[in-house]
Amino acid sequence: MGSESTLPRVRRIAGIVLAVLLIGGVVAAVVAGREGKDTGTATKTVRGVIGSEKADFFADPAVVKALAAKGYTVKTETSGSWAMEDLKLDGYDFAFPSSQAPADALADKYHARQPLPRPFYSPLVVVAHRSSAQVLAANGLATLDHDRGTLHMAAYLDAARHDRTWQQLKEARSHAELTGTLYIATTDPETSNSGALYLAAASYVAGGGRVAAGKSDVDRTAPLMHKLISVQGAQQPSSDAAFRDFVSGVGNPLVLVYESQVAALLHDGQGVDDLTVLYPDTTANSDHTVVPLTQAGRDLGELLSTDPALRKLAVRHGFRPQGDSAEFTAATAPFASYINQKLTGIRQVPVPTSSVLHEMARRARN
């Protein structure tokens, strides 16, 4: 009898233990499943300061999705490329100025390891309406080919040196909108990359084909550089704002922007009435360069450089990926009348060091 009464109790206890174990197993499986799901979808948040011309790229839902697929959520704030030097970047993972000179200055300041990732680049161009471009061509300042052309920098600088006005140019009188001093509107060279690169190219031409290397070189071209900037009055803080003004039909007849902004506009199926894209025959490339402040920032920079999906999206936003011109050529084939795909006839010149370019910009502004 005693053994028979004990057996049911043992069975009940065993059943309870088994139930607990089974429930525990289910809970563990659910937790493991959740953890597995988080591992597959969770993203690492990376913070950066970028040039305004890349804001649309990082805000693109397709880019956000492609980055998330690789484990990243990227949060960005915009700044002029040269103004980044004055920011406190504690807590940021990367800075992404629009060319190598400000990037190198930031790398020195924050002891970032070289080489720095350079995912893509974009030449500077001058956007104009057909009437403005035709007047420039009639006066030997440009050569036109369909919806694009070449701006002759030496001739343009000579006109600027002599304070030429639109009214003094042949065929300008029939265009009432072309009045006042002839100049190219740029961003502030002390804070913005495109404005600084404009001075770099102009000083190279004005200096007889040599890169400014010190004070004497800056002194030699300073009067002309000051004239190029002072004639503009108030300047836009970013190329993005300057380009939006041009697209909306306000502002100066000639505006310096990035080729990527034009290509992105055309990709979106938008246009500007009688748009003409002028490539300066002497210019400095804008190498968009990542300055890693953490390992996560470096990993992101490398990903932007190598991931096929992100490279394709960069082209979609008008940028030229480093190392493969075929991607850009294929993507811009429908807009070849506007885009100089192979940069034929365009001379890319070296950029002065950060300190020299800073001094050049300061002298030009003051």
| Residues in contact with 102: Cβ distance below 8 Å, sequence separation at least 6, in sequence order | 81, 82, 84, 85, 193, 196, 354
Q: Give the integer Cα–Cα distance in Å for 36 and 329.
A: 42
The answer to whether residue 62 scores a pLDDT higher than 50 is yes
Once rounded to an integer, what is the mean pLDDT over residues 331-358? 94
Phi and psi angles of residue 236, each rounded to the nearest 5 degrees, phi first: -70, 145
Indicate the helix (H) or strand (E) that contains 297: helix 295-306
Domain 124-286+338-365: which CATH number of 3.40.190.10, 3.30.360.10, 3.40.50.300, 3.30.56.10 = 3.40.190.10
Class of domain 44-121+288-329: alpha beta
Q: Where are the domains of the chain?
A: 44-121+288-329, 124-286+338-365
Least confident range of 25-34, 117-126, 278-287, 324-333? 25-34
Is pLDDT at 39 greater than 60 in this prediction? no
Supply the pLDDT for residue 324.
80
What whole-number distance in Å separates Cα of residue 122 and Cα of residue 318? Answer: 8
Tell me the H-state helices in the chain.
2-41, 55-59, 61-69, 100-110, 130-138, 153-161, 193-206, 215-230, 239-247, 259-267, 295-306, 308-316, 325-331, 354-365
Quick one: residue 30, left, alpha or beta (phi over 0 = left, psi -120 to 50 = alpha)? alpha
Instruction: Give the pLDDT band (50/70/90) at residue 115.
Output: very high
Say what the pLDDT of residue 270 is: 80
Return the number of other C-beta atoms located less than 10 Å from residue 40's C-beta: 8
Local confidence band at 16 (pLDDT 50, 70, 90 cut-offs): very low
Give yes or no for residue 9 having a pLDDT over 90.
no
Q: What is the pTM of this model?
A: 0.86
End-to-end, the C-alpha distance of the chain in Å comes to 109
For 64-78, how does the pLDDT look when each residue is reduced to its tens digit (9 = 90+)? 999 999 999 999 999
Could you identify the residue written with the tokens 């300041």?
Answer: 109
* The pLDDT of residue 26: 36
* Amino acid 41: pLDDT: 52
Residue 42's pLDDT band, with cuts at 50, 70 and 90, is low
Note whether 44-121+288-329 and 124-286+338-365 share their fold.
yes
- Residues 239/261, Cβ–Cβ less than 8 Å: yes
Band the pLDDT of 20: cuts 50, 70, 90. very low
Least confident interval from 13-17, 53-57, 283-287? 13-17
The radius of gyration of the chain's CA atoms, rounded to the nearest angstrom, is 28
Mean residue pLDDT across the chain: 88
SS3 of 288, please? Answer: strand
